[in-house]
């Protein structure tokens, strides 16, 4: 069947927690593609893939997985995908990205699959069900299947249709909520309202799916930050999703929102302001049992994570600990975090040598370029992760 080495499409992004999942592309790019803050897909048109195309990709992925397991047997490891097998694959220059991706998936044994790109629930229900059923038939050991979608798309499907999709194998949906404040959603061309976010979340939950909602601290800028924090929390209080994932705003030059930065109609929150904003957001979350995560390097305070309501005070204490730092220590932490040296505030004390190196760097930049040079350095460090 395969006249040439099997291959299949993969999209450009996936959630950080899906880094070790099998990645399969069901649609290409984003059907909305207008959000001012989003750096992805802007020059690419959306397109649906046919069910047959997707099935061929799944078969290709299955063939690659079988080939890798056969290699394990050939090397004497009885199908186990261990360090030796991984090394053999990654040391072969001819190994494709897809081969390496599936090898890593088998190695980490996550038994998870993430379906790309931005909004797969836009597919016809019967088509998505057919793909999910075929995926499960080819990979019966997969235990979790997840995808991105938009609230506006979700509410176009009935709960019954969503239940069919759930029963076919889709376990979790990631929604880019970003904000629950309607004026801000309109400003950012999100194409959805807070009420629609609520309705979409409730429909997915009624269908038996896990719901992961993404929130973007900083999206309101200095102009709308308070309403953004409060109204977003209020929307989430009415949904009670399984996960609330924080993704702080970044505005590199190629993002449409950058024009508003340039003309002065949008003003970025500083890191200190963001800490206050996130604190207000966490305080306003009430009556829900969601898990809050801050699992991205763009977030200043990764430790703002926990299960509500039990961990609410712990999360607020992390923010307070940052705010209680001296101005110098906050600057060192910010630079260390953005540079990848720190994951928690406690790291400041654990490694005095690293602390001193970062402080010396800050002093050098300040002497040569002034305080603006320090901020520019930190911005450049974090924007590289976008």
Q: What secondary structure does DSSP assign to 104-133, as a single string?
A: HHHHHT--EEEEESS-GGGS-HHHHHHHHH
Q: What phi and psi values does residue 291 have, to the nearest 5 degrees?
A: -100, 125
Cis peptide before 309 (omega within 30 of 0): yes
Q: According to the model, what pLDDT value does residue 355 have? A: 96
Q: According to the model, what pLDDT value does residue 93 have? A: 85
Collapsing DSSP to helix, strand or coil, 41 comes out as coil
Strand order through the sheet with 144-149: 22-25, 112-116, 144-149, 172-178, 210-215, 243-246, 291-293, 306-307
Please tell me the distance from the alpha carbon of residue 135 to that of residue 115, in angstroms, as a whole number: 11
Please tell me the distance from the alpha carbon of residue 324 to that of residue 333, in angstroms, as a whole number: 12
Angle between the N-to-C axes of helices 271-284 and 312-324, in degrees from 0 to 180, rounded to the nearest 10: 160
Determine the Cα angle at 6 with ends 8 and 95, to 5°: 95
| pTM for the predicted model, two decimal places | 0.93
Q: According to the model, what pLDDT value does residue 43 have? A: 84
Collapsing DSSP to helix, strand or coil, 292 comes out as strand
Determine the Cα angle at 11 with ends 218 and 120, to 5°: 80
Burial class (CB in 10 A: 0-12, 13-18, 19+), 240: middle
For tokens 């597919």, what's the residue?
123
Please tell me the distance from the alpha carbon of residue 247 to that of residue 295, in angstroms, as a whole number: 8
CB atoms under 10 Å from CB of 107, counted, come to 17
Nearest to 61 by CA among 3, 102, 108: 102
Determine the Cα angle at 30 with ends 24 and 36, to 5°: 135
Q: Which residues of the chain have pLDDT under 70?
A: 1-4, 385-386
Q: According to the model, what pLDDT value does residue 386 have? A: 66
For tokens 């966490």, what's the residue?
282
Please tell me the distance from the alpha carbon of residue 115 to that of residue 231, in angstroms, as a whole number: 30
Please tell me the distance from the alpha carbon of residue 32 to that of residue 40, in angstroms, as a whole number: 12
Element (H, E) at 144: strand 144-149
Collapsing DSSP to helix, strand or coil, 290 comes out as coil
Counted residue by residue, the chain has a size of: 386
Nearest to 92 by CA among 112, 66, 67: 67
Q: According to the model, what pLDDT value does residue 224 have? A: 98
Structure tokens at 186: 């309109």
Structure tokens at 305: 């994570």
């Amino acid at each position: 069947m395969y006249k040439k080495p099997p291959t299949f499409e993969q999209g450009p992004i996936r959630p950080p927690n899906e880094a070790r999942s099998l990645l399969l592309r069901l649609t290409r790019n984003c059907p909305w593609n207008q959000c001012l803050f989003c750096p992805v897909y802007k020059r690419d048109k959306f397109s649906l893939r046919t069910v047959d195309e997707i099935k061929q990709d799944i078969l290709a992925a299955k063939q690659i997985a079988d080939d890798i397991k056969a290699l394990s047997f050939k090397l004497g490891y009885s199908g186990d995908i261990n360090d030796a097998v991984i090394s053999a694959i990654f040391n072969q220059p001819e190994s494709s990205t897809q081969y390496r991706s599936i090898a890593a998936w088998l190695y980490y044994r996550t038994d998870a699959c993430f379906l790309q790109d931005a909004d797969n629930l836009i597919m016809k229900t019967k088509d998505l069900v057919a793909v999910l059923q075929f995926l499960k038939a080819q990979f019966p050991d997969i235990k979790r299947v997840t995808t991105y979608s938009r609230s506006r798309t979700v509410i176009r499907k009935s709960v019954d249709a969503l239940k069919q999709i759930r029963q076919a194998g889709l376990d979790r949906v990631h929604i880019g909520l970003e904000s629950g404040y309607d004026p801000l959603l309109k400003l950012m061309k999100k194409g959805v309202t807070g009420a629609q976010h609520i309705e979409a979340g409730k429909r997915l939950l009624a269908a038996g799916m896990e719901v992961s909602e993404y929130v973007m601290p900083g999206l309101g800028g200095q102009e709308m930050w308070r309403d953004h924090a409060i109204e977003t929390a209020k929307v989430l209080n009415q949904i009670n999703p399984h996960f609330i994932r924080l993704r702080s705003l970044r505005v590199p030059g190629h993002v449409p929102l950058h024009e508003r930065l340039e003309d002065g109609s949008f003003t970025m929150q500083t890191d200190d302001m963001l800490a206050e904003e996130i604190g207000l957001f966490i305080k306003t979350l009430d009556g829900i049992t969601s898990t809050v995560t801050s699992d991205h390097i763009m977030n200043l305070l990764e430790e703002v994570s926990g299960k509500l309501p039990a961990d609410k005070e712990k999360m607020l204490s992390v923010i307070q600990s940052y705010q209680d730092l001296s101005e110098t220590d906050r600057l060192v932490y910010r630079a260390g975090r953005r540079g990848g040296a720190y994951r928690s505030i406690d790291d400041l004390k654990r490694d005095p040598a690293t602390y001193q190196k970062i402080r010396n760097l800050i002093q050098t930049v300040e002497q040569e370029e002034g305080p603006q040079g320090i901020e520019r350095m930190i911005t450049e460090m974090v924007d590289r992760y976008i």
